[in-house]
Amino acid sequence: MTAHLFQCPSCGAPVTPKGSASILNCPYCHASVVVPEELRQDSIAARWSTLVYDGFISNHNDWLVGSQTNEYFAPLAQTIAEGRYRWEAQVGKATSITSAWLMGYPVSDFHLIANCKHILGSRAGSSCGVVFRLQDNHNYYNFRINDGQFFAVSAKKDNQWLTIVDWTKTSTIKPNGVNQMEVIAYEKHFIFLINGQVVKEVDDDHFSEGLVGLSIETYTLGEKTVFDFLDISLRAP
């Protein structure tokens, strides 16, 4: 049987899948790349079911929408229309974060994918992200990126922030473009991807299951920032 090839998202070189391996090193640029699920043999993740795909044509998943004003944002407006979930924020307090959850789907092992585009604001002044294994407003993980080409991962535990991956520079982020964020979770092991390329793998056991969702974080007092989330999908056993 002839092996199916796919292209490395970093350098474009051909890569050959090997058995059920979900991640390989490109033989040319040595980047870690995720093997497309359809090309894996007997991959556990390949057998997972899609629980949710939302392209934000309507608000059938009851996402948080409307306008609110508080000490952190003055105001924050969230709307769903024409294939985008738009978040417009006027920053009322430096280093502020807000999130919206996908209700009804608590998961432990999962594959989460979201596409986001920064529309307005300075490159490093705000970030978009995904939250996962969320218990409540005070307990969850957050994986985020900014147009300055940095990403970070944190855990909020009992309302205290813990650094899992400090802000790290990566050329995988496309400034002013649509960026895809992925999290693959197997028990306490997490794989983080940006635009199809693995940027970090870590082990952490603060939370074993929970909800997933979307987030933005802002850092510059008084700045207006706008993000569009274009879709989100969740797969799980």
Segment 28-81, tens digit of pLDDT: 788 888 877 666 654 566 678 999 999 999 999 999 999 999 889 989 999 999
Residue 197's pLDDT band (cuts 50, 70, 90):
confident
Q: Name the residue type at position 142.
A: N
Q: What is the pLDDT of residues 86-131, one digit of tens each?
A: 999 999 988 899 999 999 999 999 999 999 999 999 989 999 999 9
Q: Are residues 90 and 118 in the same domain?
A: yes
Q: Are residues 195 and 218 in the same domain?
A: yes
Lowest mean pLDDT among 3-12, 129-138, 159-168: 3-12
Q: Are residues 30 and 138 in the same domain?
A: no
Residues spanned by the domain of 155: 48-236
Distance, C-alpha 62 to centroid of its chain = 19
Enter the tokens of residue 5.
Answer: 């090839």
The beta strands (E) that lie in the chain are given as 6-7, 14-15, 23-25, 32-34, 49-54, 66-68, 73-81, 84-91, 96-107, 110-120, 126-136, 139-146, 150-157, 160-169, 178-186, 189-194, 197-203, 210-218, 224-236
Residue 154: closest CA among 207, 103, 197, 118: 207
Structure-model confidence comparison of residues 188 and 33, the more confident one:
188
Residue 222: closest CA among 69, 67, 66, 74: 74
Alpha-carbon distance 68 to 56, whole Å? 21
The pLDDT of residue 165 is 98
Tally of domains within the chain: 2
Q: Are residues 55 and 125 in the same domain?
A: yes
The pLDDT of residue 198 is 87
User: Does position 216 have pLDDT exceeding 60, yes or no?
Assistant: yes
DSSP per residue, 4-68: PPEE-TTT--EE---TT-SEEE-TTT--EEEPPGGGSSS-TGGG-EEEEEE-SSS-TT----EEE
Give backbone dihedrals phi and psi of 173, rounded to 5 degrees, phi first. -80, 135
Q: Are residues 172 and 229 in the same domain?
A: yes
Q: How many CA atoms lie within 13 A of 62 on its CB side?
A: 4
CA 38-43-48 angle, to 5 degrees, is: 80
Q: Are residues 116 and 67 in the same domain?
A: yes
Q: Are residues 3 and 100 in the same domain?
A: no
The pLDDT of residue 45 is 63
The pLDDT of residue 34 is 80
Q: Are residues 5 and 83 in the same domain?
A: no
Q: Are residues 107 and 131 in the same domain?
A: yes
The answer to whether the CB of 110 falls within 8 A of the CB of 228 is: no
Structure-model confidence comparison of residues 162 and 46, the more confident one:
162
Residue 205's pLDDT band (cuts 50, 70, 90):
very high
The pLDDT of residue 33 is 81
User: Does position 1 have pLDDT exceeding 50, yes or no?
Assistant: no
Q: Are residues 15 and 100 in the same domain?
A: no
